[in-house]
Amino acid sequence: MDRFVEFAGNNTLLVLALLTSFFVVIFTELRRKAGDVTSVVAGSAVQLINNDAAVIDLRSAESFARGHIVNARNVPFDELEGRLDKLGKLKGKPVIAVCDAGITSNKALAKLREAGFESVYSLKGGMHGWSQEGLPIVTSKKTGRRK
């Protein structure tokens, strides 16, 4: 213990940097939990999809046509609020919001929760994360475009 105190006394800036980074990590995690943002990795999303979760793709129609998750519904983020009534039948099931990188889908979660969706998730890493995991992607040519 004496050696620790001696080290801390000799390296105050290093100890302060360590304590600051520790508190930043704790603060960030608490803020994330308080914001109730729920992100799922691709493997967990597959499990949710296999248990009847709906996938809402928030990307543009062009990006959606280039490749999307099987049975995903394309609802561009800009149109989400106007189409919440049509998505109302999904309120009783888990919903996974997907965008390019996982940032826009976090914004969409708040709107979906305000509309009464109880079990909503954001795909961590978005379609980029999904692709990096080597999971299947279909194009609109194969499945027909859904709205």
What's the CA dihedral at 80, 113, 96, 91 to 10 degrees? -90
Burial of 35 (0-12, 13-18, 19+ CB in 10 A): exposed
Question: What amino acid positions are annotated as catalytic residues?
Answer: 99
Q: How many CB atoms lie within 10 A of CB 21?
A: 10
